[in-house]
Structure 1
């Protein structure tokens, strides 16, 4: 109900010239833009495909690297002690400020967008992996050792399964941040992608188009979160 009132008020304000649609767009303009781009010309699908592809690739690469390194840290604590200062320094860098460097190194194509997404996803998933491994109950570890579990058995059958819920919270957030990194890099410079279209529409004062693409990105984020929640429930059905 609140959403309907908000949309209705927005449309009324633009029709009565209480707000300038040049700067705020209008619900009817957003609907017309999305309808045309999705169902008439289909022009949005190409940019949508580029953004989704870059997001998924960067998420898979960043998450895989983070999971492997986080589990290696759990198995070899001395490795974590050695790497932690360097990783903390790199993580402190604002990734959006590195986007121009990614564009210089990897070009305007999908490579620079993947690099931006990986740089955001990696540290989020790494932090959740380390936190999940450290959060394993000490009683379970002691009991397993008492029953004669080897270090490998302890890691595979106690530590890793217990850390899955925390790891998945990082994966869920990492997928969203991967999308943010890709779109943020596309906004700066890109051949294709929703971010590139948003930048173009903003420069041409087509705010209805901008709002439409922002709505599409919001729906993508919601869909990604829902998908990760479903996967988590399937993997944790044993609990």
Structure 2
């Protein structure tokens, strides 16, 4: 009787576990991400001050308090606006130049072969090492950070665009030529659609680097920006304020990525759903 009862209870537990797992799977992805975030923050809140000195690991509540104070006095919004300006201006200029150069080089193999060693050498140069020079050349204002962002963005978008243009099947181009299409029509209807997924990928990959470039420039020399705010807090051993600035940067990067995901879905509406998911996961 005991064995039969135990077996029956185990059989009941198996469907219950399966039901619980199915409920979790039915939750939207964003809900699962929120639950994971809440769990991590709860553990963090418990550990700080009990197992770890809050000087080294401030509790999330202290970080939120620091964020609130900087938001109330207006310093958070002013610094955030400065960093966003540097990031978006540099991103737009760098991405546009990279798109043009990538298309030109992709359509001109000889030009690409001649300039390839120079591009490799420039790309191998650490942009962080150039940041102090940019400050010396262009000052501590907006311009030096914008130029640093441009150098961070350019090569990522350029190489993705170049590879996208070069990867177009030559058969499609020959068929379009036989049908009487001009070079402009071939580019618009054959090359550009085929290269778009890689171009979008390059744009998405370059956004975090654009943000990093702006913050690095602010670390080197600046009077405003999130990098300036983080550096100021770390210099005064304000770990809560330092982590508050870092979390703002993370939130900005996530929001920009979500916006680009929505834009990518609209641009790549013609792709099959499976291919679109693969591109999103790769990004």
* TM-score normalised according to structure 2 size: 0.80
Contact 1:25 1:206 in 2 (8 A): no
Aligned mate of 1:180, from 212, 237, 241: 212
Counterpart position of 2:249:
217
Distance across 1 between alignment mates of 2:221 and 2:56: 23
Distance across 2 between alignment mates of 1:124 and 1:13: 40
Please tell me whether residue 8 in structure 1 is matched to residue 42 in structure 2.
yes
Q: Secondary structure at the match of 1:25?
A: coil
Distance across 1 between alignment mates of 2:92 and 2:144: 15
Please tell me whether residue 94 in structure 1 is matched to residue 126 in structure 2.
yes
In the TM superposition, 1:73-152 aligns within 5 A as 73-152=105-184
Contact 2:149 2:210 in 1 (8 A): yes
Displacement of 1:171 in angstroms is 0.7
Counterpart position of 1:205:
237
Structure (1 or 2) with the larger CA radius of gyration:
2
Displacement of 1:4 in angstroms is 2.6
Q: Secondary structure at the match of 2:269?
A: coil
Deviations 1:206-228 (A, max 9, x none): 11111111111111111111111
Counterpart position of 1:25:
58
Counterpart position of 1:231:
263
- Whose relative contact order is higher, 1 or 2, with alpha carbons under 8 Å and at least 6 apart? 1
Displacement of 1:238 in angstroms is 4.0
Counterpart position of 1:47:
79
Deviations 1:149-183 (A, max 9, x none): 23332122211121111101001111221111111
Distance across 1 between alignment mates of 2:200 and 2:170: 21
Distance across 1 between alignment mates of 2:264 and 2:38: 33
Distance across 1 between alignment mates of 2:45 and 2:193: 51
Unaligned runs of 5+ in 1: none
User: How many pairs align?
Assistant: 237
Aligned mate of 1:60, from 92, 104, 108: 92
Distance across 2 between alignment mates of 1:150 and 1:219: 46
Distance across 1 between alignment mates of 2:36 and 2:115: 49
Unaligned runs of 5+ in 2: 1-34, 272-283
Contact 1:23 1:205 in 2 (8 A): no
Distance across 2 between alignment mates of 1:174 and 1:9: 33
Q: Secondary structure at the match of 2:237?
A: coil
Counterpart position of 1:195:
227
* TM-score normalised according to structure 1 size: 0.94
Please tell me whether residue 36 in structure 1 is matched to residue 69 in structure 2.
yes
Structure 1 residue runs of 4+, over 3 Å off? none
